Amino acid sequence: MPRYGFLGLGIMGSAMAANLVRAGFGVTVWNRTPEKCAPLVALGAKQAATPRDAAAHSEITFAMLADPAAARQVCFGPYGVLQGLDEGRGYVDVSTVDDATARDVGAAVRECGGRFLDAPVSGTKKPAEDGALVFLASGDRRLFDEAAPALDAMGKKSFYLGETPGQGTRMKLVINSIMGSMLTALCEGLSLGLKGGLEGSDMLEVLASGAVANPMFSIKGAMMLRDEFPASFPLRHMQKDMHLALGLGNDLGQAMPCAAAAGEAFKKARAGGLADEDFSALFRLFR
Ligand code: NAP
Whole-number Å distance, alpha carbon 206 to ligand 1 midpoint, is 35
The packing angle between helices 167-195 and 200-208, to 10°, is: 130
Q: What is the mean pLDDT of residues 175-201?
A: 98
Q: What is the pLDDT of residues 38-93, one digit of tens each?
A: 999 999 999 999 999 999 999 999 999 999 999 999 999 999 999 999 888 999 99
DSSP state of 280: G
List C-alpha distances in Å: 62 to 23, 86, 215: 16, 15, 29
pLDDT in tens, 224-257: 999 999 999 999 999 999 999 999 999 999 999 9
Q: Which of 46, 172, 220, 240 is catalytic?
A: 172
Residue 218 and residue 213: Cα distance in Å, rounded?
8
Cα 102–chain centre separation: 14
Distance (angstroms) between ligand 1 centre and the Cα of 258 equals: 26
Cut 0.85: pTM above it: yes
CA-CA-CA-CA dihedral for 262, 266, 272, 278, to nearest 10: 130
Instruction: Report yes or no: 269 and 282 within 8 Å, Cβ to Cβ.
Output: yes
Using a 6 Å cutoff on CB, does residue 74 contact ligand 1? yes
Mean pLDDT, range 177-192, rounded to an integer: 98
What rounded mean pLDDT belongs to the chain?
97
Is 36 annotated in the active site? no
Q: Is 124 in the pocket of ligand 1 (CB under 6 A)?
A: yes
What pLDDT sits at residue 145? 98
Residue 87 pLDDT: 87
Cα 189 from Cα 203, distance rounded (Å): 9
Residue 114 beta carbon below 6 angstroms from any ligand 1 atom = no
For ligand 1, the distance from its centroid to the CA atom of residue 66, given in whole angstroms, is 3
